[in-house]
A and B are shown apart, each in its own frame.
Chain A
């Protein structure tokens, strides 16, 4: 498996996806080697829960991102070549275009099939192709879908997007959702202590939002909803977890509401702290304007908090409106405020949503089940 992010190098959902999938595959008896990029403090090689993890150092850099990506793929190729002298791989699995160069080289050099999981597209992330780099990334994504023997996507909406934009044969695309380990979110937590760390009193309502601070996450629409929520439920605080290039802009938007004292930007926080926060909040909001899957919604459901999510993409496939969560119109602060109020103002209904959501997560989104489906794809391409 080749991925540009793997814990502790966590940027977005890909790291968690590769972590969960590789461990579940290893648990199911497969030999799994992950080749990823180095990260300060992480060892060059380690074995975690049966998964062999190799971290390639990028020994040459370049100011241009695309050139840098080509260079790090070269160092990943070298690492894969070294590992393949000791292990006989049946299949190589890449995640997004970022590691496609290394995967495609391996496919042709070793004569082994290539599986590519496409977690998102440039045209979706950037809401269009607005500069030369975006056009190049779009081309590289097409190339990845062309070279892959099978394409895995995490939702039906992503399948439609890939088919509509890159036109691969429909039978080449397999939908296998993201997964989570529900047990991780059931750990006992001292809610008062966790809330206290962020200045939230036990009697206040806590609205949590988790995501990279980038436009596709739609966080400014949640911030736009804050004055309306504060009017309906004055004792409410908001915590926004995540880092990203849009942070200073979002902080300015928060100040412009006049309610900035209610809103805390935590930046990036470690996984254990995120789990503690998920277990201490009253509602999780996922206000994305583009979301191929939306794993954070599953995390909220597993932690037992009601989820409010945009009615689009993978989120609309995960959340059944008014049964496992509440769907709101995307880019619409009024709708987001309505949905949050629906949850905060009716505790009985919220508890019912949480029960339904937890049951659904355990049945449908365990990593064991998802690893089995992925292994079936491997078997099909190996023949």
Chain B
């Protein structure tokens, strides 16, 4: 196995929809439970399709980068500390 062959085997996380969504959630400030956003609110900010948002949020939650929480009968989401580190690693 060479590192170069591994390079070609997959799409880097940076270019995936889930990372794009995670980065946007971070940048719009959904980084604390009290700043959690619902799917319609995320849609307003990002312009992504609701079904894309739902799918990608589920993936991010499974990886521990996003924390879902129910608030007033609505599911809301915010970026976890681990998710913040993931995003900020791009720029430091």
Contacts and interface: CB of A to CB of B under 8 A. Distances in A.
Interface of A: 5, 11-14, 40, 58-65, 67-68, 98, 212-214, 220-221, 223-224, 227, 243-249, 252-253, 256-257, 267-268, 331, 333
Contact of A252 (B10, B27, B87, B89): B10
A12 to B, nearest CB: 4
Interface of B: 1-3, 6-7, 9-10, 12-14, 19, 23-24, 27-32, 45-46, 81-82, 85-92
A243 B91 CA distance: 13
Contacts of A213: 89
B57 to A, nearest CB: 15
B10 to A, nearest CB: 5
A63 B81 contact: no
Contacts of A59: 29
Contacts of B24: 63
B12 A249 contact: yes
Given A220-B7, A244-B90, A245-B86, 5 more contacts: A5-B88, A63-B45, A212-B92, A223-B3, A223-B6
B13 to A, nearest CB: 5
A323 B43 CA distance: 57
B82 A249 contact: no
Nearest to B35: A61
Most buried by A among B9, B12, B82, B85: B85
A245 B92 contact: no
Q: Top 9 closest A-B pairs, CB basis?
A: A61-B29, A12-B92, A244-B89, A61-B28, A224-B3, A63-B24, A253-B6, A11-B92, A68-B27
Contacts of A224: 1-3, 6
Contacts of A220: 3, 6-7
A155 to B, nearest CB: 17
A64 B27 contact: yes
A252 B1 CA distance: 12
